[in-house]
Amino acid sequence: MRSYSLIAPAKINLYLEILGDRPDGYHELAMILQSIELADEIEVRAIGTDTILIHCDHPQVPSDSSNLAYRAVELMAKEFPDVFAKFGGVEITIKKHIPVAAGLAGGSANAAAVLVAVDMMWQLGLTQPELQDLAAQLGSDVPFCLAGGTALATGRGEQLNALSALDSLYVVLAKDRNLMISTPWAYKAYRSEFGHTYVRDTQSLESRAHRVHSGPMVNAIRHKDGSQIGRLLHNDLEKVVLPTTPQVAQLREAFQSSGALGTMMSGSGPTVFALCESEAHAQQVQQKVRGMIANPNVDFWVTRFSNRGIQVVSSVS
Q: Is the peptide bond before 270 cis (omega within 30 degrees of 0)?
A: yes
Does residue 245 belong to the site contacting ligand ATP (CB under 6 A)?
Answer: no
Provide, rounded to whole angstroms, the least separation between the CB of residue 282 and ligand ATP. Answer: 21
Closest CA to 129 of 105, 107, 159: 159
Residue 36, strand partner residues: 305
Provide, rounded to whole angstroms, the least separation between the CB of residue 154 and ligand ATP. Answer: 16
Q: Could you say which residues in the range 121-150 bind ligand ATP, by CB under 6 A?
A: 141
| d(C-alpha 112, C-alpha 126), whole Å | 13
Provide, rounded to whole angstroms, the least separation between the CB of residue 108 and ligand ATP. Answer: 5
Q: Which of 7, 39, 90, 105 binds ligand ATP (CB under 6 A)?
A: 105
| d(C-alpha 74, C-alpha 72), whole Å | 5
| d(C-alpha 179, C-alpha 119), whole Å | 36
Does residue 62 belong to the site contacting ligand ATP (CB under 6 A)?
Answer: yes
Does residue 235 belong to the site contacting ligand ATP (CB under 6 A)?
Answer: no
Q: Which of 20, 106, 226, 230 binds ligand ATP (CB under 6 A)?
A: 106
| d(C-alpha 305, C-alpha 317), whole Å | 32
Does residue 267 belong to the site contacting ligand ATP (CB under 6 A)?
Answer: yes
User: CB under 8 Å to 223, separation ≥6 — which residues?
Assistant: none
Does residue 183 belong to the site contacting ligand ATP (CB under 6 A)?
Answer: yes
Q: Could you say which residues in the range 188-227 bind ligand ATP, by CB under 6 A?
A: none
| d(C-alpha 272, C-alpha 260), whole Å | 12
Residues annotated catalytic, as ranges = 11, 141
Q: Which residue is nearest to ligand ATP (CB)?
A: 107
Contact residues for ligand ATP, defined by CB under 6 A: 60-62, 66-69, 94, 100-108, 110, 141, 183, 267-268
